[in-house]
Structures are given as structure tokens and as C-alpha cells.
Amino acid sequence: MNANELQQLLLDKLGADCVVTAPSDLVAWTTDWRGMYHGQAAAVVRPRTTEDVAACVALCAAHGVPVVPRGGNTGLCGAATPDQNPLNVVLSLDRMNAIVSVDPVANTMVVQAGCILGDLQRAAEEHGRLFPLSLAAEDSCQIGGNLATNAGGVNVVRYGMVRDLVLGLEVVLPSGEIWNGLRTLRKDNTGYDLKQLFLGSEGTLGIITAAALRIFPATKSRAVALVAIDTPQHALDLFSIMFERCAGRIDAFEYFSGDCLELVLGVTPSLRRPFAEPHAGYVLVELGDSGEAEVLHELLENALGDALERECCSDVAVASSLAQACALWQLREDISEAQRVDGPHLKHDVSLPIERIPAFIEAARQRLFAQFPDLRLFVFGHLGDGNLHYNVSRPRDAAPDYFTSCGDAVTDIILDEVARQDGSFSAEHGIGQLKRKHLRAYKSALEIRMMEDLKRTFDPKGIMNPGKIL
């Protein structure tokens, strides 16, 4: 079958309203948002119903045609970009964006997969509830993409990854069958937990069309502080104190190195320096509660007073208004953008047993500098989850293509140290096409075999997002 014949079959089955075939219209659907990956497709299908998704997948299965599920295209590993097969069909969920129900008694929300994450947060808020998944791409990414990548973000320390927020799923399987697992039960020990297989599967096992999600009491008060620390070990000691004193109320516990702050302030000089002197590192801590703000602030200030007394921090800045809290958060949130302005760099999204973070930071630094003494390290991340964004920028006077020759060697040193410390080479961004070789390098042969067996069971024809993960 050629691309024209496939387009005609799709048009006959689903109608012109659902099927995009003009080559100029396909470009945007076959490229990732950073422009790192470019693929090919015969068509983009934009269904409005689960039955249309199933009809499309059944047609593709009958002809052995690859299907690439597509959410908001904000993924960082090229997982939503098709490969070079000209017969690929990109299946976009963007029109399936209904919020089916929000139940503030059961504390559940049932939604279609194409809903934008920010819209779900606002829908929960209208009912006095919180949907806690929060990440910088929240006004573009879709919940289907979040589920398929098992997304993390800044509130994982309190609410867990997306995996922990899901009660049920509806999925179109690679055969075209519809699995209705859209239950809202909290307790359901009836054999294997099938929904968990699709979370984090990056569209390789089936297409998520709807989800039943958990929602929580709305956060009525917040208390935010930036804490200056001398060493990563002090950040851990602080975490331990905060955990003891404020357990259950820590919404975020974010670390960034002093170099990250200097980079941000250099790129945006209008931002206010939070402390008179630069420090080796910083922790941004946010507490949240459904009760009174005064009580929460007192809790935070007492815990930080304790930390100062125990000498695990050198200075603290507590936000006394929402504007101040936002200004402190901006210092953390602007790091990625400041790095983009600074130029090409290597990103590593790693996780470690939290107690090993200080040893990892020190060992990785020493090993990198032994071979590449002028690299610039920008280390930040969700410390409360053991998740570091360990990013590396070229030496100050090096050409922009510096990493073309040595990027792999730099990454190998970092990921080898992660493995030595029993960590993971991908904490929250997944595998996609970017990290397939790392999966082969760092997972055991037995783990790879179990994954391949699962893939074959669900997708014997190998049509679902080929070339991703495995």
C-alpha cells in the first residue's frame, strides 16, 4: 500500500473532517517542539470520539500501519515524533478535550485524554478542589501525554507522580478494541493492575482516550521561603527537619546551585538578588494547607529557625506576600530559559536515592572536571523526590558546537556515576527515541526481556509508536 491509498482508506472510514493529508499541514505534526526530531507521516487523524480512535487503529492494524499518538507535543525525548516511515499515521487527541465530570464528594474527575492540563487544574479549582500535577508546560501539554509519560513536576514530593493520581483509564488497544477501565474505585484488588502498564508507556502499548483522576482539597494558604545553604548535605538536613516539622504540608522542595542563580540574574538583571551575598546553593520550599495562612507561616518560620540553629542553612528569605512568593519561584523557574539563552547545553534528568545526592554531586563533579576542567555545571531540581536536572554547558569561550565531539563522553560520565549510586538515568522525562540506547545500557537483560514480552503481548504487530522506548 502506498501513502495515497492509505489516505483514501482513512478518508473513507473517518471522513475529511478528521483526516489531515496536505503535505504543508503535516510538517507541524511530524516535528518535536524543539526541532530536534523530524519524521514522516501519510496523515494526521484528529478524532472526536473513542469509537473514531478505535476505527482508526483497527484500520491501521489491518494494514500493518504504524500509529503515533500525539498529545501537546511538549515531551522532551522525541516520543511523539514519528520515524521516517512514509506510512505513519499521527493520531492526535486534541479534539477529545471534554471534562466529563468533577465529583467533589468522591474527589474524582473524569476527563478525556486531550484535555489541556491547565484546564483540568482550573476545573478542579472551580469545585474547591486541587488537581496537583503542575509543570511549566501545563498550558500546552495534555493529560493523555502526561499519563503516557508518567509526568512529574514540582508537587511530586507531596502528591506523587501522575501514576499516583490515576484511578482508571479507557484505552484503545493496538488491535482496535476499546478497554473500558474507567473506574473511580479507590480499592480494586482484582488481579493485575492493568492501567499501570499504560502509564509511562509513551504510546507504545495503546492510546489512552480518557482517565478517572484523584482530586484533593484546594490549597487555601501557601508559605514560601528561599533558604541559602553551603552544601548539598545541608539541603538534605533541611529536608529532614522540614519533614519532621511540617509533614504532609510540603508542596515543593526545590534545589538549585549558586551557579544557576547567577546565570538567571545575569540573563535577567532586573530580577532582585534574594540575599546580599551569593551562596553555594539554595532550596526553595513551599508549604500548602487548606487552613489559616498565619498557622502555616508560623510552622514554616519555626522549622526554619530550627534549621538555622542546627546550622544546616546560612540564611533564609520568607515571602510575606504572594508577589514575593512569585518572585522567589521565578528564580527557580527561569533556570531552563536562562540556559537556553546561554546556548547549547546537555540536559540530564536523573534520580538518586535521596541520601546519596551529596555523594553523587561531588563524585560527578570531580570525574567531569578531571577530563573537562572548564565545563559549567547547572544543577537544580526536585530534591525532595531525589530528582536532579544535571545540566552541563560548554566552557565560556568554547564554540556553540562544542558538544558535537564530546557530548556523549560527558553524558557517559554522568550516567555512569548515576548507576554507581543506584540511581536512574531518566527520572520524569521518559525514554522516547532520545534515551533508547541508555535503556539498553542501564537496564538488566531480564528487565529488557520482560518489557519486550509485554510489548509483544499488547502489540504483536508492532504498530504502536514504533522506535520508542524499546
Give the nearer residue to ligand FAD in terms of CB position, either 61 or 207: 207
What residues contact residue 361 under an 8 Å CB cut-off, 6+ apart? 232, 379, 388
Give the nearer residue to ligand FAD in terms of CB position, either 19 or 205: 205
Least gap, CB of 113 to ligand FAD (angstroms) = 4
CA distance 357 to 433: 27
Least gap, CB of 350 to ligand FAD (angstroms) = 13
Least gap, CB of 435 to ligand FAD (angstroms) = 12
Least gap, CB of 252 to ligand FAD (angstroms) = 11
Give the nearer residue to ligand FAD in terms of CB position, either 203 or 274: 203
- Is the distance from CB of 390 to CB of 367 less than 8 angstroms? no
Give the nearer residue to ligand FAD in terms of CB position, either 237 or 254: 254
Q: How far is CA 287 from the centre of its chain?
A: 22
Give the nearer residue to ligand FAD in terms of CB position, either 29 or 402: 29
Chain residues in the site for ligand FAD (CB under 6 A) = 68-76, 79-80, 93, 113, 135-137, 141-142, 144-146, 148-149, 151-153, 202-203, 207-208, 428-429, 465, 468
Residue of this chain nearest to ligand FAD (CB atom): 145
Give the nearer residue to ligand FAD in terms of CB position, either 79 or 227: 79
Give the nearer residue to ligand FAD in terms of CB position, either 107 or 209: 209
Least gap, CB of 375 to ligand FAD (angstroms) = 23
Least gap, CB of 469 to ligand FAD (angstroms) = 8
C-alpha cell recorded at residue 434: 532520545
Least gap, CB of 318 to ligand FAD (angstroms) = 25
Which of 126, 95, 93 lies closest to 109, judged by CA? 126
Give the nearer residue to ligand FAD in terms of CB position, either 380 or 402: 380
Least gap, CB of 461 to ligand FAD (angstroms) = 17
